[in-house]
Structure 1
């Protein structure tokens, strides 16, 4: 029975959690300073999820790309499919921080939002 380790990233405390799993069940947990640590551990063991930051092409913008991220974590298993999808997405300038660039990505209920503003280029 090996003790495993994981660092909780749900808050800035970064609890170093030690745990043991037997027959697919968590049998011991140490190091989480709040209940969210246990919840994070359970989620990581069942289906890990991540917020994904990336960028999207901008049409008629002062910059060629705008930084974006998922507004909530998506399952890690979907990240490669998500990255293939996001490569095909373009946003029309102007883009403002918080604009929804893509809704309900891969039927997860998660949106992709802009994390910076890109102004429109004035055409001559």
Structure 2
């Protein structure tokens, strides 16, 4: 099989071609070893980070941004998103606090990317 891809690891954005089958893998077009490693990982075990939002119980802030604190297997993205979509935050949390711990046993947490006390007006707001 053959796959063309652009490396996203460094600013070179190398255009690479990967030729592979079950036992061999050849990478062409990479200017550094990191590009080769990226291509191999993308073919053999693609991983992704997720950025999304979760619901809250606060009228002033109905949704708040979250992200995974590590990468998950690409083929599990929809399962992780199902879990994220069921989260409802019911207390004031700070940036980095966990809203979903060890999602699907992947050793990855879903954490807040904003500080709620600075976003909610009134008792906690500015």
* TM-score (normalizing by structure 2): 0.81
Query: What's the C-alpha RMSD, in Å, of the aligned pairs?
Result: 2.1
Number of residue pairs matched by the alignment = 121
- Equivalent pair of 2:27/2:39 in contact (CA under 8 Å): no
CA distance in 1, matches of 2:27, 2:98: 39
- Equivalent pair of 1:61/1:118 in contact (CA under 8 Å): no
* CA distances 1:42-71 after superposition (whole Å, capped 9, x unpaired): 111112111011111112363111111111
* TM-score (normalizing by structure 1): 0.82
Please list every run of at least 4 consecutive aligned residues from structure 1 whose deviation after the TM superposition is greater than 6 angstroms.
none
**Counterpart position of 2:92:** 94
Where does structure 1 lack aligned partners over 5 or more consecutive residues? none
Q: 1:62 to 1:81 in 2, by over 3 A?
A: same
Where does structure 2 lack aligned partners over 5 or more consecutive residues? none
Using CA pairs under 8 Å that are at least 6 residues apart, name the structure with larger relative contact order, 1 or 2: 1
